[in-house]
Chain A
């Protein structure tokens, strides 16, 4: 490997000399060694301008990023809304981040330019143009890289590197990079380091097919960058170009090939394409995070770089930082009561040094540190539970710091709105410590306003707030509560999520409305649409006329009885809570009427549904009955007709049949003889039919329990049913009977017991009360129960 990197055969391919008009400096994003040698290169070369790889529509942000008040990590957030459908027919929204850490060469290039008083410029195509020149599912349009401008995919995933791994037994690209470049490169002179970078990057490039470079927009970007370089050369004597190492060879070839043609760039309004500086976090900058954009363990490498800036000897910087991190890991483990001793720390340190020597590395780095912690601090089999020291190491190496943008004039609109609302509602949104808020929903306006903000933030998936207590309208639980308790915390992820939604609106409410509209258009089911209506109700967001039209269209198109039934339940609830929540929406009543109409039409077809679905169907029938009582009295006739049609069907699920008969009786007591006749029909049938009679009773008592209480007719029939059966058959129908009688109150059970007692010439006391159990026996039973529970608990079965 050393031999390959010596680059003996291709040193002159890209010249590196201080008298050149253009010097191409290759970097890897967030690499301390690249920053270290970049500063040396700038000192040697003394450029008149520094050109940096990065979408050029962010040039205005360079002074903000290098502002002395700005604290890293920060990022440039780019977005583009493809309203003109230049990228695809879908006209989607796109966004990505370009993060900067203290160790980022691009940041140091900007900083050095500022310190030298020379200009610094980004030279890549604007974000929209990169997307336009990238094929579907390639480069910035792939799932993995779509959020990250500064991707290292070429360096890390090339065929050349795969071969290196195979030959050297290295675990991954990061280990290779750290060993050969970060630790090895820091002790080389700048010219040798740059030559090795050229060599590695050129070999990587040679292993990448031209078609791939074309497809992911790489060639177009290089053409544009080369054009900008040539333009700068006309004005400046010495031009330093800082780009990803992979592009160095491509740019060199473009510049060698004569005059480069410029691209015709599109012009977009700022609501279609723009960029903002945002505070970023180490966590998000970690290559292991969802927004893979550079190296792993960013805080660790930032510390290495800052040590180098502070004058620490390059030959000891990694030893110092890894030892420091090892000790911090042990301390963090001790705080979690893990038995990590000083002897373990020493063993881990010896392991790190030993491994570095065995692997021929100049010094130990993150991978030796990981191995040291794994060998000496993970006791027993490596499982999730035993790997806590490794987790702690990972967290410490990644870091949890959040950056800060010194100049607030470029704050993204959603973050500005969020901060404004938090200030108005007196929410502590600048603290990373979790906070609790107890809100009176109906007493103070501020309580409802804060609740709506929390619901909006939750709806946007920001992770800002979590409701601990309060009414849960989605589950129809705790509706009587008048307070909500929330826990909230502002993290970088909250800002990042808000930025993610920038394309959805300029205020949080607007973003929520856009999201809700998109959900309606995407899901097309009444159940989901009604849940979205509940979300909007909680967020205090009214549907637009277009959304209302979509909602009505969904209600027309959805033919799923149960989906519409669930939808009606939500709409009915919203209707009843409108006054309480001070949120009137006239369209809810229209939705109810539409749902009601469709359910009535579909109800007769439900007659022969399965036993499993019968419960849900009965609940919907009861809901329909309730709605006719409260909101649509004029339409009770329709319900009666639908139920009658259902009961007249040949195939009927017995419990649904019973429930329908019960409802018909509830609406017209004159229906009672028909109910009795139906029950008698079951009693006179075969054994199989009698068993179905139990389910009929179950349904009947759900909707008309008073039948059992009015007189003895139904109890007598139930008694006949049970008495006439064999014991085994009785056991079979027992669960249904139990369910049928489970809806009665204790007082009603008392009354039923009296009636049943009469039938059997005894007293209710004898039925309801048995002889008192012996006190000692009861105590023994309790002790036994506790022992069994403890035993089960011990075995992990409780």
Chain B
């Protein structure tokens, strides 16, 4: 069943790894955690576990770039503060939040998606109005939202894009995070819900949205913040593009290995445009668009799919350039000029020096309009 899903939840996607870790986990666990902090670390950062029968199982690395950040996040969640992951779009904040939830609580789907239209009902609870009218306010008529579910089951409530929600809605979390109690006044004396051990909140916030709905100081005090940075290592970025594209290809039944040279080309392009300087030291203009690894993976896979469905399977650098254009030139016309500038300086320099695929890439850049 899960195989047919476009994006199965982490706990299903990595079910075997979680089961292996659970079976071999001998570490101390905080109350209600499925795995010990050490096993959670291994689940996210990779490693090997040895089963009682002596068989070794490799746990894949799922988050790259900052191991200490993952460790801090795990320890934060074991304490009484929430975890707030902030950073540029496409830096895998949501993925990390899902991984932590899946490993610690066994589920990553207890989630609120923050938007300008998010209300307190969507966070805490709402009512089944038919039952409410027929039976009055009672537990049966209550429809629990992720916060209430998390408190009752002792699992994490994930709050995505928290800063897109209005400030007064964000602040409704304060009392719950402080007192670990949710009061449902309509239920009278039975209306107090005490959070079970293991409950916590993982929030994510996009730094590009900073200032849209700035978090209050009171709410900030209840979270430990972790800033997730973009990947700064080209080799690592290339490896991620290859791995993610291969996963997507497998899911889409595209039976063709990914082209590592093109992945490197794209990793270098994204890295240099993000940093504003080429490996050769040439200063270039940074586009206003988000230059995340996730975007690079998307551009790569679009080109890969195009080659599979319309071409001979070989990736066409002209199509790659067009996809790159679509990914970068979203917000401002200026970004087109910056991309052209990149081709006219950095790519030109590389094609003269290295030739090969860079030459073809430079020629494809002539079609940028």
A-B contact pairs, 13 of them (CB 8 A): A339-B217, A347-B81, A351-B75, A351-B224, A354-B78, A354-B79, A358-B37, A371-B71, A375-B224, A376-B81, A379-B217, A380-B225, A381-B87
Interface string of B61-80 (1 = CB under 8 A from A): 00000011001101110110
- Is A343 an interface residue when CB atoms closer than 8 A count as contact? yes
B227 touches A351 (CB 8 A): no
Alpha-carbon gap, A290 to B76, bound state (A)? 35
**CB nearest to B86 among chain A residues:** A381
CB of A209, distance to nearest CB on chain B (Å)? 24
A338 CA to B227 CA, complexed, in Å:
19
Q: Does A261 contact B (CB under 8 A)?
A: no
Complex CA–CA separation, A344 to B79 (angstroms): 12
Min C-beta distance of A61 to chain B, whole Å = 42
Q: A354 touching B224 by the CB < 8 A rule?
A: no
Kindly list the 7 A-B residue pairs having the minimum CB-CB distance in the complex, ordered from nearest.
A354-B75, A382-B227, A169-B67, A375-B224, A379-B220, A375-B72, A381-B86
- The residue on B at minimum CB distance from A378 is B225
Shortest distance from the beta carbon of A344 to any chain B beta carbon, whole Å: 8
Q: A309 contacts the other chain (Cβ, under 8 Å)?
A: no
Contacts of B207 in A (CB 8 A): 381
Given contacts A358-B38, A381-B207, contact A351 B72 (CB under 8 A): yes
- Find out whether the CB atom of B41 lies under 8 angstroms from the CB atom of A375: no
List residues of chain B with CB under 8 Å of any chain A CB.
37-38, 41, 45, 67-68, 71-72, 74-76, 78-79, 81, 86-87, 207, 210, 215, 217, 220-221, 224-227
Given contacts A341-B221, A358-B74, A380-B220, contact A350 B79 (CB under 8 A): yes
Chain B residues near A347: list those with CB within 8 A: 79, 81, 224
Given A358-B74, A375-B72, decide whether A381 and B225 contact each other with a Cβ distance below 8 A.
yes
| Besides the known contacts A343-B221, A354-B37, 18 further A-B residue pairs in the complex with CB atoms under 8 A apart | A171-B67, A347-B224, A350-B75, A351-B72, A351-B224, A358-B37, A358-B74, A371-B68, A375-B72, A375-B225, A378-B225, A379-B217, A379-B220, A379-B221, A379-B225, A380-B220, A381-B227, A382-B225
| Residues from chain B with Cβ under 8 Å of A380 in the complex | 86, 215, 220, 225
Which A residues are within 8 Å of any B CB, using their own CB?
Answer: 169, 171, 339, 341, 343-344, 347, 350-351, 354-355, 357-359, 367, 371, 374-376, 378-382
Residues of chain B within 8 A (CB-CB) of A376 are 81, 224
* Other-chain contact of B75, A358, A378, A379, A382 (Cβ < 8 Å): A358
Q: How far apart are A688's CB and chain B's nearest CB, in angstroms?
A: 34
Most buried by A among B72, B87, B226: B72
**Complex-state Cα separation, A380 to B72, whole angstroms:** 15
Q: Which of B45, B79, B215, B217 interacts with A351 by CB under 8 Å? A: B79
**Residue in A closest to B45 when the chains form the complex, CB atoms:** A169
Residues of A within 8 A of B74 (CB): 358
Beyond A169-B67, A354-B79, whether A381 also contacts B72 by CB under 8 A is: no
Centre residue among B68, B207, B226 by max chain A CB count within 10 A: B68
Measured CA separation A350–B210 after assembly (Å): 29
Smallest CB separation, B27 vs chain A (Å): 9
Q: In the assembled complex, which residues on chain B have CB atoms less than 8 Å from the CB atom of A355?
A: 71-72, 75
Give A522 Cβ to nearest chain B Cβ, in Å.
25
**Distance of A455 Cα from B354 Cα, bound (Å):** 53
Interface centre among A169, A344, A382 (most CB of B within 10 A): A169
For A171, list chain B residues within 8 Å (CB).
Answer: 67-68
Question: What is the CB-to-nearest-CB distance from B178 to chain A, in angstroms, rounded to a whole number?
Answer: 10
Which residues on the A side are within 8 Å of B217 (C-beta)? 339, 379
Whether B226 contacts A375 by the Cβ 8 Å rule is yes
With a cutoff of 8 Å between Cβ atoms, the chain A residues found around residue B226 in the complex are 375
Cβ contacts under 8 Å, B41 to chain A: 358
Q: How far is the CB of B292 from chain A (nearest CB, A)?
A: 16
In the complex, which residue of chain B has the Cβ closest to the Cβ of A348? Answer: B224
A residues near B38, Cβ cutoff 8 Å: 358
Q: Which of B41, B81, B87 has the most CB of A within 10 A?
A: B81
Chain A residues in 8 Å Cβ range of B67: 169, 171
Q: Distance (Å) between the CB of B92 and the closest chain A CB? A: 16
Expressed in whole angstroms, the minimum distance between the Cβ of B81 and any Cβ of chain A is 6
Q: Are the CB atoms of B71 and A358 closer together than 8 Å?
A: yes
- Residue among B41, B75, B220, B226 having the largest count of chain A Cβ atoms under 10 Å: B75
B289 → chain A closest CB, angstroms: 19
Q: How far is the CA of A371 from the CA of B38 in the complex (A)?
A: 17
Closest Cβ neighbor of A347 among chain B residues: B81
B347 to nearest A CB, angstroms?
Answer: 31
Complex CA gap A55/B48 in Å reads 49
Residues of B within 8 A of A375 (CB): 72, 75-76, 224-226
A371 touching B72 by the CB < 8 A rule? yes
**Bound Cα distance A354, B217 (Å):** 26
Q: Distance in Å from the Cβ of B188 to the closest Cβ of chain A?
A: 32
Residue of B nearest to A370 (CB): B68
Select from chain B the residue with minimum beta-carbon distance to A351: B75
CB distance from B82 to the nearest CB of A (A): 11
Q: Is the CB of A351 within 8 A of B221?
A: no
Once the chains bind, are B72 and A374 in contact (CB under 8 Å)? yes
Closest to B81 in A: A347
Contacts of A344 in B (CB 8 A): 221
Instruction: Give every chain A residue within 8 A of B215 (Cβ-Cβ).
Output: 380
The smallest beta-carbon distance between A57 and chain B, in angstroms, is 42
Give the complex CA separation of A382 and B210 in angstroms. Answer: 13
Measured between C-beta atoms, what is the minimum distance from A19 to chain B in Å? 44
Most buried by A among B79, B207, B220: B79
A17 to chain B, nearest CB (A): 38
With the chains together, A405 CA to B184 CA distance in Å?
71
Closest Cβ–Cβ distance, residue A369 to chain B (whole Å) = 12
How far, in angstroms, from A375 to B79 measured CA to CA in the complex? 12
Shortest CB distance B164–A (Å): 16
Output the nearest chain B residue to A372 by Cβ-Cβ distance.
Answer: B72
Closest chain B residue, CB of each to CB of A383: B227
Contact assessment for A359 and B225 in the assembled complex, using a CB-CB cutoff below 8 Å: no
Query: Least Cβ distance of B14 to chain A in Å?
Result: 19
CB distance from A575 to the nearest CB of B (A): 44
**Which residue of chain A is the closest to B215 with respect to CB atoms?**
A380
| Most A CB within 10 A of own CB, among B45, B71, B215, B217 | B71
Residues of B contacting A367 with CB < 8 Å?
68
Task: Give A371 to B72 CA distance when docked, in angstroms.
Answer: 7
Compute how far the CA of A378 lies from the CA of B226 in the bound complex, rounded to whole angstroms. 9
**How far in angstroms is the closest Cβ of chain A from B256?**
31
Query: Distance in Å from the Cβ of B30 to the closest Cβ of chain A?
Result: 10
Alpha-carbon distance A347/B221, docked complex (angstroms): 11
Report the nearest A residue to B73, measured CB to CB: A375
Complex: chain B residue closest to A367, CB-CB:
B68
What's the Cα separation between A302 and B38 when bound, in Å? 32
Residue of B78, B87, B221 most packed against chain A (CB within 10 A): B221
A381 to B226, CA, bound (A): 7
B97 smallest CB distance to A (angstroms): 16
Q: Which residues of A contact B227 (CB under 8 A)?
A: 381-382
Cα–Cα, bound, A169→B65 (Å): 10
Q: Name the distance in Å between B48's Cβ and chain A's nearest Cβ.
A: 12
Give the shortest distance, in Å, between B207 (CB) and chain A (any CB).
5
- Report chain B residues within 8 Å CB of A378: 225
Cα A361 to Cα B71 with chains together (Å): 13
State how many angstroms separate the Cβ of B200 from the closest Cβ of chain A.
13
Tell me the complex Cα distance, A358–B68, Å. 11
In this complex, which of A358, A367, A379 has the most chain B Cβ atoms within 10 angstroms of its Cβ?
A: A358
Chain A residues whose CB sits within 8 angstroms of the CB of B225 once the complex forms: 375, 378-382
Inter-chain CA distance A103–B67, complex, in Å, is 31
A170 (CB) vs chain B CBs: closest residue = B67
Query: What's the nearest-Cβ distance from chain A to residue B171, in Å?
Result: 16
B210: chain A residues at CB < 8 Å are 381
Chain A residues within an 8 Å CB radius of B86: 380-381
Residues of the A chain whose Cβ atoms lie less than 8 Å from the Cβ of B72: 351, 355, 371, 374-375
Residue of A nearest to B46 (CB): A169
Cα separation A169 to B41 with both chains bound (whole Å): 11
Residues of A within 8 A of B79 (CB): 347, 350-351, 354
In the complex, chain B residues whose CB is within 8 Å of the CB of A343: 221
